[in-house]
Structure 1
Amino acid sequence: MFRVPDLRNKILFTILIVAVYRVGAHLPVPYVDFNAIKDLKAQSNNGGVVGFLDLFSGGAITNVAIFFLGIMPYITASIIMQLLGVVIPKLEQWQNEGQVGQKKITQWTRYLTVALALIQSTGFVFALHQGKGGLFGFAGFRGKDLIPNFDAPRAALIVLTWTAGTALVMWLGELITQRGIGNGMSILIFASVVSRLPAQGGAIWSQGTKFQFFVIILIGIGMIVGIVFVESGQRRIPVQFAKRVVGRRMYGGQSTYIPLKVNQSGVIPVIFASSILAFPALIASALGSSGHGIQKWINDNLVTRQSWSYIGLYTILIIFFAYFYTAIAFNP
């Protein structure tokens, strides 16, 4: 494999970009009380929706790093642009213009990503300042100011740092897509998830039995095999070419097929559904539980991923986006 120069260069380039991404997930932003963050992480269960988002960011959220927002603003922007493509004629026209139209959509997706990152960064800055310690899964830190000596210039610098970090993550993903191996955004998500496996595996090993550890390993391997099997599945549409006579010779008549992937949408519906469910739960997690009204309902039903309402809504959203994205990806 490494004997092919082009393939070797692509693999090494992808590894380099992933390394830069992982460094950014550990570089802290200025003016944050990191001693408090360290204590908070030590006592946090790191669960709930923020723990889920932290998984996608590779620990950047609990590290309060420059890649704090990670790839989620880009995913949200992509969802919005694809949904708007159904109702806005101009976007639908761009979708049908091939590569030229796709470049325009990509450019507007970038603009929307930066705008969403700016809004989310502002919200997170005030959440950290106002002592929403429960944002990290530990309610005991509510009321503790994680940004001491808070003022407008400091807040603006943190907001701009997180926004620039999101733009940089988006650019790194596009670089992998253009010059590396595979889809850049998927590679970055994969790197974030895999980076948490050693810590999660160590926790399972220390808290459970060896038998439980190996059972989980076997289940994981079985899931990977199943995913590869489904992803490789094809529906083959037979095609019969007509015979034709040229001079005294007969040509054509061969039989072939058109391969159609069983899973046209891939993992996109799961990511989209997770992103949508993260927003209301993230707001409730930052504000805390008041014990009544819609806020309590969100905490009880959307923050807890084991609840039946969360599982049901999550399933419905996955099915919806699977149909929606398949209709976009497969246009006969």
Structure 2
Amino acid sequence: MKKFIQTLKNIWSIEELRQKILFTLLLIVIYRIGSHIVLPGIDPIRLEQLNANNANNGILDLINTFAGGAFNMASIFALGIMPYISASIFMQLMTVLVPTFQKMQKDGESGRKKINQYTRYLTVAVTIVQAFAYVSYLRQTSGPAIMENFGAAYFTISTILTLTAGTMLVMWMGEKITDKGLGNGTSLIIMVGILARLPQSFFQELTSRSTRAGNILIFIVEIAVFIAIILGCILLVQGVRKVPVNYAKQLTGNKQFGGARQFLPLKVNGAGVMPIIFAQAIMFLPTLFTLGSTSSIGKAFTDHKNIWYMVIYSVVVIGFTFLYTALIFNPRQIADNLKQNNGFVPGVAPGQPTADYIGTIMDRITLPGAILLALVGILPGIAELVFVGMQPSFSTFFGGTSILIMVGVILDTLQQIETQLLMRQYDGLMKSGRVQGRQTTSAVQI
């Protein structure tokens, strides 16, 4: 405890780090306040009554999770950061598939600025489309909550403009946190939205267990399992396969450069959380063509406790993991970079043989990573089956996107804090070892 207090004092004593933390907290507070401001023309009391009787599932629940509950509350930040995430993913894929964007990405800082500018323009377009769809969703599910003195055309136009402005403000706050704050702004905003639902879910589960005799012990076991899952997710997020790389010695004047042995870290889970997001979206699509939620097909694709849901979901996650990893990971480019910098893998010829060798290793470690990622995705359903009576809102924190995003973002943020401490010759956050983040250079860091 004494070391912890001393670490907090060291953090606060660094002016730059203190300003970063305060700036980040300020923007996060603004974001959470805006998440509770209801759209013009919506009666919040009626809306709360409607939400108490309705429950989202599929992709809508995913959006509501990322928005910190603002989606169901019809907030000005109802769409949250999701349009920006969608635009960023699209632009990231374009830099892999389209030669023009590939060249732009290799142009350094100027190319990065152009890609960011195109991402912002695309975010506006995506937000307008999603805002129009959200208006239709409000009329269908929350029609009684819309005030009568708001005309249909006026409500549609004002809502689209408000949601677009809200999303652009959230995007701006995310970029400002990344530039002047602590951690990746987009990731932090998503994590704050997820964590905002944790205390309520925790107390709901505690209240539910405490009302029945002997269930407090079950609640304690649930917390122990939850901690074990967090530890497992940390291993999954940080797991790497180190490929040894040697660099040839170079003599420049009387000085010798190179000759050092380093390692090329290949991530076990190179795709991050994206396969789970894609899988949840795919699992939601078949429900649009079913006759209703009572049909067997609709139940199989919406009930995460259903065995067929788990099987299909796992297969989709594994497939998307290989697909997304193949899109963002280019062994040939890595081999060319090593060759240009006089680096080589011991026992492997430079060029195409190195690319084949790295690609083979990546394929081997991606399979167990994909299986573990699929297991994390179906853990909420397994938790509800094992712990009978668990609240669905609490079970969502036992796996899926929630736990992976929280673990990854917290690790990245702690790594930045520790880096600032070590740069100023303070002790790190841990007595032994160092805090490591996700070690990713992906444009979409969630």
- Please give the TM-score of this superposition, normalised by the length of structure 1: 0.80
List per-residue Cα deviations over 1:21-41 (Å, max 9, x = no partner). Answer: 111111111101222212112
1:124-203 equivalence runs, <5 A = 124-129=134-139, 131-133=140-142, 144-149=143-148, 150-203=151-204
The amino acid across from 2:194 in the alignment is V
Unmatched tracts of structure 2, length 5 or more: 1-10, 210-214, 335-446
Distance 2:257 2:290 in 1: 74
Per-residue Cα deviation, 1:255-309 (whole angstroms, up to 9, x for no partner): 44344443333334434544x448747x94xxx97549xxx78844544344456
* SS of match in other structure, 1:235: strand
Offset of residue 175 of structure 1: 1.1
- Which residue of 2 is the match for residue 81 of structure 1? 91
1:42 corresponds to 2:45: no
Could you tell me which residue of structure 1 aligns to residue 374 of structure 2?
none
Q: How many Å separate the matches in 1 of 2:292 and 2:203? A: 36
* Distance of 2:309 and 2:137 partners within structure 1: 24
How many residues are treated as equivalent by the alignment? 314
1:22 and 2:23 aligned: no
Q: Distance in 2 between matches of 1:108 and 1:42?
A: 40
**Structure 1 residue 225 corresponds to structure 2 residue 231:** yes
Find the counterpart in structure 1 of residue 81 from structure 2.
71
User: 1: CA distance between counterparts of 2:257 and 2:114?
Assistant: 44
Structure 1 pair 273–84 and aligned structure 2 pair: CA distance change class (3 A): farther
Q: Supply the RMSD in Å over aligned alpha carbons.
A: 3.3
- Alpha-carbon separation, structure 1, partners of 2:25 and 2:277: 23
Please state whether the residue corresponding to 2:244 is helix, strand or coil. strand
Following superposition, the deviation at residue 245 of structure 1 comes to 8.1
Unaligned runs of 5+ in 1: 134-143
Is 1:86–1:92's contact at 8 Å kept on the other side of the alignment? yes
Q: TM-score normalised to the size of structure 2?
A: 0.61
State the 4+ residue runs in structure 1 displaced beyond 6 angstroms: 244-252
Letter in 2 for 1:147: I
User: How many angstroms apart in 2 are the aligned matches of 1:54 and 1:307?
Assistant: 22
Would you say 1:235 and 2:234 are equivalent positions? no
Which moved further from structure 2: 200-209 or 44-53?
A: 44-53
Alignment equivalent of 2:220, drawn from 214, 231, 239: 214
Out of 322-331 and 11-20, give the one that drifted further: 322-331
Partner Cα distance (1:151, 1:238) in 2 = 64
Task: Provide Cα deviations, 1:83-133, integer angstroms capped at 9, x if missing partner.
Answer: 34444332233233333222222222222221111111112212322x325
> Distance in 1 between the 2:158 and 2:39 partners?
9
Q: Give the Cα–Cα distance (whole angstroms) in 2 for the partners of residues 83 and 228 of structure 1.
A: 27
Aligned to 1:262: 268
Structure 2 contact 242–266 (Cα < 8 Å) conserved: yes
Identity %: 38
Q: Which one is further off, 44-53 or 240-249?
A: 240-249
Q: Does 1:304 align with 2:303?
A: yes
